[in-house]
Amino acid sequence: MIRLARRWSILLAASLSLAACSRSGGGQAPVKHQGAAKADEVKGLVGKAGGLLELEGGLRVEVPAGLLQEEVTLILRRETPTFDLSGKDFVGPAVRLGPRLTFAPGAVRLWVPLDKELPGEPADIRLMVYHWEKKEGHGPEGSNFVYTWVPCPVARFAGFSQDQKFLLFDVFESISDRTTKAPFGLLQAAFDLPKAP
């Protein structure tokens, strides 16, 4: 009889501890924020549990669990693809990710849909960032602005999705402001190919 009572008390204690754990929120699941059909922007609150922001067509950013220490409203925006610049061949939509956050040494994973045949080798893939440089003019106009693309110093190519339909990038810092020097601005996947003679 004493053994039976002892077993019941152990089972009761275990049940109470499980109930306390479930109420404490220790087992939070990652959140998923899906953009509306044909929307070019999705935003949502993501915290320690991590999560996903996704737009129609598969453009998405994944935030691993434990990367953020507090809840943040993240924004993923698709923008019109840019014109191709000499020596570069752009792939997929232009992307803006905000607000500005530093994830390093961790990273968020950006999924960029492939929208054409690949023009080069994987070693040539870069995530480019649009930024401006102010150059002084010597005419009546004074200062003028030159817009350029540069390889993004806070991202690296991580490979292809298993179905080969997406380019994957690890992004160590989000980029939210178009009118600031690199590494801020508009992101777009590109092949950094040699210029034609």
Q: Which residue has the tokens 């190919």?
A: 193
DSSP string, 14-75: HHHHHHHHHHHTTTPPPEEEEPPTT-SEEEEEE-TT-EEEE-TTS-EEEE-TTS-SS-EEEE
Q: Mean of the pLDDT values across residues 129-137? A: 58
DSSP state of 195: P
Residue with tokens 């275990």: 14
Q: What CA–CA distance (Å, rounded) separates 50 from 23?
A: 19
pLDDT at 87: 63
User: Residue 8 has what pLDDT?
Assistant: 43
Mean pLDDT across the stretch 90-100?
84
State how far the Cα of 60 lies from the Cα of 169, in Å rounded to an integer.
Answer: 11
Residue 98 placed within a domain: yes
Taking 90 as the threshold, does the pLDDT of residue 187 lie above it? no
Quick check: is 22 in a domain? no
Q: Is residue 5 part of a domain?
A: no
- 99 against 193, higher pLDDT: 99
The answer to whether the peptide bond before residue 105 is cis (omega within 30 degrees of 0) is yes
pLDDT of 121 higher than 90: no
Mean pLDDT computed over every residue of the chain: 76
Q: Which residue has the tokens 């092949």?
A: 191
Q: Does pLDDT of 2 surpass 50?
A: yes
pLDDT tens column, 6-55: 554 544 444 444 433 333 334 588 899 999 999 999 999 999 999 999 99
pLDDT value for 36? 94
Residue 3 inside a domain? The answer is no
- Tell me the average pLDDT across 80-105: 77
Domain range for 70: 28-192
Flag whether 135 is in a domain.
yes
Task: List Cβ neighbours of 165 (8 Å cut-off, separation of 6 or more).
Answer: 58, 113, 114
**Residue 12 falls within a domain, yes or no?**
no
pLDDT of 62 strictly over 90: yes
Total domains, the chain: 1
In the numeric block, which tokens belong to residue 8? 């019941």
pLDDT given for residue 134 in this prediction: 52
pLDDT at 65: 94
Residue 7 maps to a domain: no
Predicted pLDDT of residue 12: 42
Could you report the per-residue pLDDT of 141-185, keeping only the tens digit for each? 666 666 667 777 788 889 899 988 999 999 988 865 544 544 456
79 and 186 in contact (C-beta within 8 Å)?
Answer: yes
Q: Is residue 146 part of a domain?
A: yes
DSSP secondary structure of 68-131: -SS-EEEEEEEEPPPPPPTTEEEEEEEEEEEEEEE-TTS-EEEEEE--S---S-GGGEEEEEEE
Asked if 168 contacts 66 with a C-beta cutoff of 8 angstroms, the reply is no
* CATH code of the domain in which 57 resides: 2.60.220.30
